[in-house]
Structure 1
Amino acid sequence: MTSSKGRQQLPPLKVLCLHGYRQTSVAFKSKSGGFRKLLKNKLDFVFIDGPHLVPTGPQNPDGTDDSRSWWFSDVDPDYFSSAQESDICKGFDQSVDLIRHTFETQGPFDGILGFSQGSALVALICCLKQLKEFNYDLKFVVLVAGFQSLSASHLKLFDRLDSQLIDIPSLHIIGESDQVIAKEKSVKLSNIFKNPYIVYHSGGHLVPSNSSNRQKDDQTIDYIICEYNDCNIFLNLKSRVICVVM
């Protein structure tokens, strides 16, 4: 049903969610609860675990099973740092295979949301999609605390774009006081997308859960996510609704 103002009730958009390094699907679901509440009945979130357990060591001193990774930038022991330039990306291929398997078994998905290392993986999936090496539809991606992986094979993958910009609508959520992923890294990642939409929040390394955010041009926070059923979908954090404009 469509109102005179062009609003329409649509099935929720289905979004695959990828957690950060040393997180799990359960932890990410919990930490993103406020953000998901803003979008209740608008987006259907599906959370999965990274396939690799962070081994007992400096990054998992208690050897717990709730510390997982999408890949490692160093070995002996397996280790990851977003700041590390490395020839290693151990486990990355298995993670891409897992994403493909998830699209096959739980999809289709309208979009992917990633946090931290998960957002770096989303960017790499987008690169594969642009190169026609990821054969699943993507209407949009959301990258929270995103960064570009410095693993050599990943940089070569981006180089293969050969100045192409990734033509997937993207939303980049950036913390002004993020001490883990500097906002400059997140902005740099947004520059590989053709039409990035950037929203800043005043917090740190987290998924924001309130409406006190601003766009890069300090205007009202209305930004397009995707086209869906011949409609333009806007997420308005101020009114906390997705607005459908015919």
Structure 2
Amino acid sequence: MVPGGSQGAAAATSAQRKLKVLALHGYLQNADVFRSRTGALRKALKKHCEFVFVNAPHHIQVDLQGNDIVSCDGDDHAKCYGWWLAGPEGGPPREAKSAKGWETSLGVLEETLRREGPFDGLLGFSMGAAASALLCAAIESKRVSCHDQFKFALLFGGFVPRDPVLAESLRDAKLSIPSIHYSGLSDELVVADRSRELVGCFSEGVATFESHPQGHCIPSLREVREKCKAFVADRTNP
């Protein structure tokens, strides 16, 4: 008989379990694009994590001049999505004072947690980083019923939405999830102060703010990969 028997085998299986990470893409991206743009980071974390990439529910059609047009016909050829849309005032959703459609996205994410969870971590970029924090706030306030989710978050280019209701929900939450927040020194879309504002929505001591020398992206830099790898390794089951 093998020493330890079935209990030893169960312990070994538990020790080998990878952390499941929910990955939320940025505005005008989709799950497949986000998967391809996180290749270097995923490779660094492959020993510890498996990733589940999800499309936001709001399809955006982009015209030849680069203007965002909401598509209502279900045409999926552009494959550009958002977690919310700008309200009547228009402009880019990250600057809009109303976040049209966020409740629909929250429902999609809650269903994802039920169907594919529980999840151990979050990976979010830009609007996806903001959506990650909003999802955590909804869980902590019990607006979303799927509890026991998320031991950590890796957030790149994140921000607090301008929508006052969503902004207040984040500030009031004081999220307790350990997180790293990266901001690009050359990022002109989401400046560092906006990412620092998101850090302020987390409880003191659980969120770390980091800079990288590139723009609005998830960089493939070795120092970023290694820091994220060490951060996640600390949360891997022993």
- Is TM (by shorter chain) over 0.5? yes
Amino acid at match of 2:209: I
2:129 aligned with 1:83: no
Alignment partner, residue 53 of structure 2: 47
2:149 aligned with 1:149: no
Q: Which runs of 5+ in 2 are unaligned?
A: 1-13
| 1:32 counterpart (11, 31, 38) | 38
2:44 and 2:229 in contact (8 A); partners too: no
2:45 and 2:229 in contact (8 A); partners too: no
1:153-168 equivalent positions in 2, closer than 5 A:
153-158=165-170, 161=172, 165-168=174-177
Deviation at 1:55, TM superposition (A): 3.5
2:81 aligned with 1:68: yes
- Distance, in Å, in 1 between the alignment partners of 2:227 and 2:80 is 34
2:119 aligned with 1:109: yes
2:109 aligned with 1:99: yes
Alignment partner, residue 205 of structure 1: 216
Q: Structure 1 pair 158/181, CA: closer, same or farther in 2 (3 Å)?
A: same
Q: Which runs of 5+ in 1 are unaligned?
A: 1-7, 215-219, 227-232, 236-241
1:72 and 1:79 in contact (8 A); partners too: no
Q: Structure 1 pair 181/11, CA: closer, same or farther in 2 (3 Å)?
A: same
1:71 and 1:90 in contact (8 A); partners too: yes
Number of aligned residue pairs: 214
1:73 and 1:151 in contact (8 A); partners too: no
Task: Look up the SS of the partner of 1:16 in the other structure.
Answer: strand
Amino acid at match of 2:79: D
Alignment partner, residue 121 of structure 1: 131
Q: Encode CA deviations 1:150-193: one digit per residue, 9 max, x unaligned.
A: 1122123235x2xx521111121221211111112111211111
Deviation at 1:11, TM superposition (A): 1.4
In the superposition, the TM-score normalised over structure 2's length comes to: 0.79
Amino acid at match of 2:153: V
Amino acid at match of 2:234: F
Q: Is 45-54 or 168-177 further displaced after alignment?
A: 168-177
Share of identical aligned residues, percent? 30
Answer 1 or 2: which has greater helix percent.
Answer: 2
In the superposition, the TM-score normalised over structure 1's length comes to: 0.77
Amino acid at match of 1:109: F
Deviation at 1:134, TM superposition (A): 2.7
Q: Structure 1 pair 46/73, CA: closer, same or farther in 2 (3 Å)?
A: same
Task: Look up the SS of the partner of 1:22 in the other structure.
Answer: coil
Task: Look up the SS of the partner of 1:212 in the other structure.
Answer: helix
Q: Encode CA deviations 1:107-149: one digit per residue, 9 max, x unaligned.
A: 1111111110011111111222232323322211221110000
- Distance, in Å, in 2 between the alignment partners of 1:49 and 1:91 is 14
Q: Structure 1 pair 24/79, CA: closer, same or farther in 2 (3 Å)?
A: farther
1:195-234 equivalent positions in 2, closer than 5 A:
195-213=206-224, 221=227, 225=231, 233-234=233-234
Q: Structure 1 pair 26/213, CA: closer, same or farther in 2 (3 Å)?
A: closer
Deviation at 1:25, TM superposition (A): 0.3
Alignment partner, residue 191 of structure 1: 200
Task: Look up the SS of the partner of 1:68 in the other structure.
Answer: strand
